[in-house]
Structure 1
Amino acid sequence: MRIRVTWLDRAYHGQEWPPSPLRLYSALVAGAGSTCMTDPQFKAALEHLARLDPPTIYAPTTIELGPTAASVPNNDGDVILGFQARGDDAGARRKTSKLRTIRVRHRHQIEGEGAVTYVWTPNSTTPDHRQGLNRLAAGLTALGQGIDTAWASVEVDSDRPDGLRWEPNAQGAHQLTVPYDGVLDVLEERYQASRRRIAVDGTVRMVPEPQHRQIPYRCELDPPRRRWTLMSLRTLEDGQWSAPGNAATAVAAMTRHAVHQAAQRAGLGREIIAALMGHGDDRQRILTSPIPNVGHVYADGRIRRVLLTAPLTLDLEIWRAVTYRLIGAELSPPEAPPAAMLAPTDQGDRLQHRYLGTASTWTSATPVILPGFDTNRRGKPRPQKAVRRLLAYSGIDPALVETVTFEPAPILRGAMRGADAQPPRHLAHWPRVHLSIQWRVPVTGPLALGAGVGYGYGVLMAAA
């Protein structure tokens, strides 16, 4: 069973994309309330819809346009009634021109036919509510904000709807609110409370927003999610410690050795430790990526943090057993006394959101090592082939990428040039570039591309 929503002007002004299932549910409730909410058929269909499992969503891509400002009336319009009661029409007009406020909206321009389809898995009683669901869909007038006029229909077509597939998934990076059993009563209580928010004596009561159920959704184009922990580099006396940006390989090697020792202290078996170190199954490998201080006005390019990542296929207990034992672990150069130690980062770390946040545009914070040469017989570069090979090497669906731009120089302040990088010997002969990627949908970090992943190269940063 599916509900298809189409916007009349192919524009959407809500905060999230795609519109959450609860937003659609609320729009259906509003449409029913504007017609005849006392009809028991409406209530039974809405309660049935809330008890079904969260739907799969098929949504087209959107173009997020710049914010637009509009002058709209504020909530002091009752003051005008006093002027009109005294017969002062001129004063009422002057006051009306002043009772305006600026409202900023963020517009999503919907590509294609401008429709989103919500697909529920029906149960044995769903056919009994088909007529009620049809009437609910017919009553929908808007989805998003008030200006997002739309219409809806119930469909039973078995073909795959158009658009990207968004499905409930524990590994998803997008939190969307969904209907749940009893949500209809919650919405009704909030509506009645908002009607009573102004008391007889003029007191205005606040109506709190209820805490609705949220679940993670994953777009079919999203890169695989990873476990991660960000740690800072400290001296043995717990002071600040840093390394130059071109020492990424050395810092990664010291951190990798610390991971090996932590795994041994955790009592893990030899096969598991070998997999953690990358000798075998990549689905359990822990990668170490030194993080440079780049991308802001005070950036100096030095390394003060290390990001450790692993696929979600690595058992959580093994991940915790290793990462917990890394706190206070010493980092030692070959045949030298310890130079630094690992410590947890502060919760307010100013760079954390740039490497681990969500954005549509990401750019390289360290040079990306291309996995091979992509030139024709005359030595002319073939950037499209280079991009395809790079994405295939990193396990990313090319359909997720809107554009890839190779930068002639690093665009982030403090970032290291490709020529200054000192990668491992087996990667030294491969091309090193900086690039920016525009994704078709917002992507959540951490992200790293290329053959230098795990050695401090190919780390991406979200656009500010």
Structure 2
Amino acid sequence: MGLGIIVRLRAGRYDAARDDPMAPEWPPHPARLFCALVASMWDEADREALRWLESAGPPQVWATPEIATSRSRSYVVVNVTGKKGSPAWPGRSNGLRQRASALPSCDTFAVVWDADPDDATMGRLVRLASRVPYVGRSTSLAEVTVTSDPLPDRPEWVRYVPVPLDTPRSVPLRVPFSGYLSELEAAYEEGVPSWQVRTRVIAYAPLSTEESAPTDSDALPGPYEQLLIWGVRPPTVPIPGAELLTITSSLRRAVLSRVADPVPPQVSGHGADGLPHVAYLPLVDVGHPHADGHLLGVGIAVPRQMSSVDCRALLRGLLGPDAEGPLEVVRLPQGREVRLDYPAMRRRGLMPERWCGRPGAQTWVTATPMMLDRYPKRRLDVTEIIAESLRTAGYPRPDKVEPLAGPAISGGIHRPRRGTVPTWARKPLVHCRVSFPQPVRGPVIAGVLRYLGCGLFVPEA
């Protein structure tokens, strides 16, 4: 049956930070919940229940991947004494306090162990949880409950599970381990805060991208092997999706400046001899009732036919020599800049599955307008041009093409801002819906400006 500890954030916020005080902790670390239970411990029976829990193995974390971030900076009187001070606080000075909070789209998460406690241990854990006032900082009020019943699979939740350390898009989480309680008690006796106590750190990743990910042997691979995603770093003024060509052109320049010479032809787009180029994509807010098309992040699509040497050169430029210095700033015209986070925060619009249709999708619609390769003529209508553009871009020829007067998806971009379209690209812009004979893996891009994100498709639900 297993054991589940459910945490409801009373104020809808989770006040806890990682090593960087301005980066909120999410998903919640199981070790932090364990510390909250330790703080409510009363007697030896409670201690025995916690010893059982710390030895139960790494749990799963069920939580929403979609969060907003709140940050604050203030100066407070510190406890450290020194020669300097103020008339009000002799011998003490002030210090900068920076804090970050996560505002999840769902105020409830769960930590689930694949272990069954006996009745006495279960009863103690229930009482321990009932006495927990908060999880994280004291401002993060919480209601904590323990259950051995199967938890409902809420649609907002993603199951984060332990994975190997080198798993893509994994995040490190601190977990309790056998002996953790004793180390916490020793630290308390010495006046050492719990966050300074040694913990076990393991990698977690969403179950949907691991062994439970659906597979479809009939899905056809597109021309792109992988999609690397950066999120726009909050807080920032939302960038309208109509600025997509300004963003992607600036992103391309930023990438070229970081890739060592000689720049591979598929990265620069010069001399690629008919091979697909690296694509610089605007990931816009589309596909839900409140979507407004603003920029969530950017994606860089790496071609499947790119040599390993060129691919390594590209990745070194994007992520740094040791994958520790990723691209962080894209400079726009007029002195503006966009700051980026890699890896991107996990939210639907910044997940590869959103744009790649994993394991594949049969019907796709344009999120950004597609620029036709040719002008329509009496004997060459728009549907034929769209179908041929997709085939030229490296996808199977669709068996159904439906030109549209505007975006078929909420938040879709009608057209790039006037003045941002290159002078050499002045052909008609259209939106469309296409269906392939069998599922195709994305990202799907087509048209004259596809390598700059015009003609970016998204799977239709």
Taking structure 1 as the reference length, the TM-score comes to 0.51
Q: 2:202 and 2:225 mapped to 1: Cα distance?
A: 21
- State how far apart, in whole Å, the 1-side matches of 2:144 and 2:315 are: 53
Please list, as runs of the form range in 1=range in 2, the aligned pairs for 1:6-85 lying within 5 A after superposition: 6-14=8-16, 15-32=24-41, 35-36=42-43, 39-59=44-64, 61-65=66-70, 67-76=71-80
- Name 1:116's counterpart in structure 2: 109
Separation of aligned partners in 1, 2:39 and 2:78: 23
Shift of 1:21: 1.7
Q: How far 1:52 moved relative to its partner?
A: 3.3
Change (3 A) 1:155 1:226: farther
Is contact 1:5-1:152 (8 Å) kept?
yes
The partner residue of 2:180 within 184, 207, 210 is 184
1:261-285 CA distance string (max 9 Å, x none): xxxxxxxxxxxxxxxxxxxxxxxxx
Residue equivalent to 2:220: none
Q: 1:107 aligns with which of 101, 104, 127?
A: 101
Counterpart for residue 278 of structure 2: 289
Report the alpha carbon displacement of residue 10 of structure 1 after superposing the two structures with TM.
2.2
Is 1:210 the counterpart of 2:198 in the alignment? yes
CA–CA distance in 1 between the matches of 2:82 and 2:10? 33
1:121 is displaced (CA, Å) by 2.4
For 1:242 and 1:169, the matched residues in 2 are separated by 37
Tell me, in whole angstroms, the C-alpha distance in 2 between the residues paired with 1:410 and 1:220: 40
User: How far apart are 1:31 and its partner, in Å?
Assistant: 2.5
Deviation at 1:368, TM superposition (A): 6.5
Residues 81 and 92, structure 2, Cα contact 8 Å, conserved in 1: no
TM-fit CA distance, 1:20: 1.8
* 1:46 CA drift (Å): 3.8
- Return the alpha-carbon distance in structure 1 between the equivalents of residues 263 and 109 of structure 2: 51
- Answer with 1 or 2: which has the greater Rg: 1
Alignment match, 1:315: none
Structure 1 position 54, deviation (Å): 1.9
CA separation of 1:152 and 1:255: change in aligned 2, threshold 3 A: same
1:244–1:116 CA distance, 2 compared to 1 (3 A): closer
> Out of 300, 324, 327, which is 1:351 matched to?
327
* C-alpha spacing 1:404/1:349, structure 2 compared with 1 (3 Å): farther
User: Which of 398, 411, 416 is the equivalent residue of 1:408?
Assistant: 416
**What is the match of residue 160 of structure 2?**
167
Verify: 1:150 aligned to 2:152, yes or no: no
Gaps of 5+ in 2: 17-23, 215-223, 230-254, 282-299, 330-339, 356-366, 372-385, 387-400, 433-441, 457-461
State the shift of 1:96 in Å: 6.1
CA contact (8 A) 1:410 1:417 kept: yes
Equivalent residue for 2:132? Answer: 140
Q: Is the Cα contact below 8 Å between 1:3 and 1:152 reproduced in 2?
A: yes
- Counterpart in 1 of 2:430? 431
Between the aligned partners of 1:72 and 1:355, the Cα distance in structure 2 is: 29
Query: Whole-Å Cα distance in 1 between the matches of residues 94 and 159 of structure 2?
Result: 40
The two structures have a TM-score, normalised by structure 2, of 0.52
Q: Is the 8 A contact 2:368 2:412 kept in 1?
A: no
Whole-angstrom CA distance in 2 between matches of 1:342 and 1:115 = 40
| Counterpart contact for 1:137–1:152, Cα < 8 Å | yes
Q: How many pairs are equivalent?
A: 318
Distance in 1 between the 2:266 and 2:125 partners?
63
Name the counterpart of 1:458: 453
Give 3-state SS (helix, strand or coil) of 1:456's partner. helix
Does the Cα contact within 8 Å between 1:73 and 1:101 map onto a contact in 2?
yes
Identity of aligned residues (%): 15
CA distance in 1, matches of 2:29, 2:418: 38
Secondary structure in structure 2 of the residue aligned to 1:173: coil
Name whichever structure is richer in helix by fraction: 1
Q: Which amino acid aligns with 2:327?
A: L
Cα offset, 1:50, TM superposition: 3.9
Matched to 2:206, the amino acid is R
Measured in 2, the distance between the counterparts of 1:373 and 1:193 equals 71
Q: Secondary structure at the match of 2:160?
A: strand
1:83-102 CA distances to partner (integer Å, 9 max, x unpaired)? xxxxxxxx996226963333
Secondary structure class of the residue paired with 1:103: strand
* Superposed displacement of residue 49, structure 1: 4.6
Shift of 1:19: 1.3
Where does the alignment leave 5 or more consecutive residues of structure 1 unmatched? 81-90, 198-206, 257-287, 293-305, 311-318, 329-340, 388-402, 423-427, 434-446
Q: Is the 8 A contact 1:47 1:181 kept in 2?
A: no
The verdict on how the C-alpha distance between 1:195 and 1:418 changes in structure 2, with shifts beyond 3 A counting, is same
Q: Is the 1:251–1:290 contact (alpha carbons within 8 Å) kept by the matching residues of 2?
A: no
CA offsets per residue over residues 192-226 of structure 1, 9 Å max, x none?
585279xxxxxxxxx96635222222175999997
1:180-259, aligned counterparts within 5 Å? 180-182=176-178, 184-185=180-181, 187-188=183-184, 191-192=187-188, 195=191, 210=198, 212-218=200-206, 239-241=261-263, 248=269, 253=273
